Structure 1
Amino acid sequence: MGDQGIKKLPLPLSIGIDNLLNLVAAFLKGQGVISKGEILVYVTKDSIGVKKVEEKSLISNEIFERYEGIVERVLEIAIELSIEGREGKPVGTIFVIGDTKEVMKHSHQIVPNPFKAHNLNILDPKIKPIIKEFSFLDGAFIITSKGRILSAGRYLDVDPKSLDVTIPQGLGSRHLAAAAITKITKAIAVTLSESGTVRVFKNGEIVLEYNPRLSRSF
């Protein structure tokens, strides 16, 4: 049997079943197979369940399509840092992807930029250890829509209150900054908490959330 007419969807398998289902739902919505508010049934090797098509899933899929390969690589690094830490210790950091001209306007360097004058791309597998090494720096990694790493240790000059940004109770300044920078620009942000939770922000909201330390195989 040939595969003509079969749509193939590349998925970042490490992000957990709930997020995977959101991406699948968004993909099917884009293909006209299902509509917002409808229910899809899914089957894994261990379970059967249902998933309602919601607005956040559509946003999540848009993120992966717009920054093809880049978001997956950032999530891969964030998830590995969540599990492994840096030198065995938990780390927290922010990655800001896209709309770099505006992001740079709304940020400033707080430590010497280790990526200055270097043309390094996050899609290069050899760069991963370098990213992990600098994950201890305060501030954010700034990454272009093509994957070039412009800076690390960048402070985000944003005022969440003036932007009317709200986040779930218990999250701190890192998450407020991530939400605010994605509201004032067209960028997306990926945060890693010391607790191990990885979150993706778009338009000032959390659109994907996953803690690989708490995950179970499915």
Structure 2
Amino acid sequence: MSTCSIREISCPGCGAVNKSRMWIGMEASADPELRRRILNETLFDWKCPDCGAGAQMIYPCLYCDRENGFLVCLSPNGRTPAVREAEQRLPELPGVKKRLVDSAAALKEKILIFEAGLDDLAVEMVKLALRELVEKKRGAAADRAFYLAKSGDLDYIGFEMFLRGVEKPVYQGVRMEVYRKAVQVAQSSGFADEGFQQVDAALAQTLLEQQ
């Protein structure tokens, strides 16, 4: 069952203080609407009832998907004492992946990756290679890259990349064979999948440099 907390929010526009509901624990099967709001990027949207000003309020929360075997802890401030406490409170479970992310976009991406049955470390390694390819082709740095979808019929994985100074994202796909090779590299990297791991581009780069 999902859990929420009612907290007071001070409007950054008019200063009015109002109560707002924050979902600190989400269970995918029990509350599919919360999952939908994460994927359409509206869960953390907030609107002041006094002046109508809008903002995105990112707060610490835990997303649990028992069916697909993963937990994602969203902590905007990284590995805080609360995250370490959650690691101690939630024992290691066979086949259950635990991830730490610091943004709503990363939370959404992890959900999509694990629901598709993919290895997120391998996906990060593919993204590194794609970013280098796109940057050479476009002549602009790729600040962010996200997994979008897996197409079984077309045998490819799709990504979107945000280039510096370019408003619209660039879409890029790779064949599943590229991903499968990345899985082999990830599995031989010595990555210890214990606790809430922050599996991102920085980790993928470090592991690749160590090989």
Is the pair's TM-score, using the shorter chain for normalization, greater than 0.5? no
Larger relative contact order (CA 8 Å, sep ≥ 6) = 1
Structure having the higher strand fraction is 2
TM-score, scaled to structure 1: 0.34
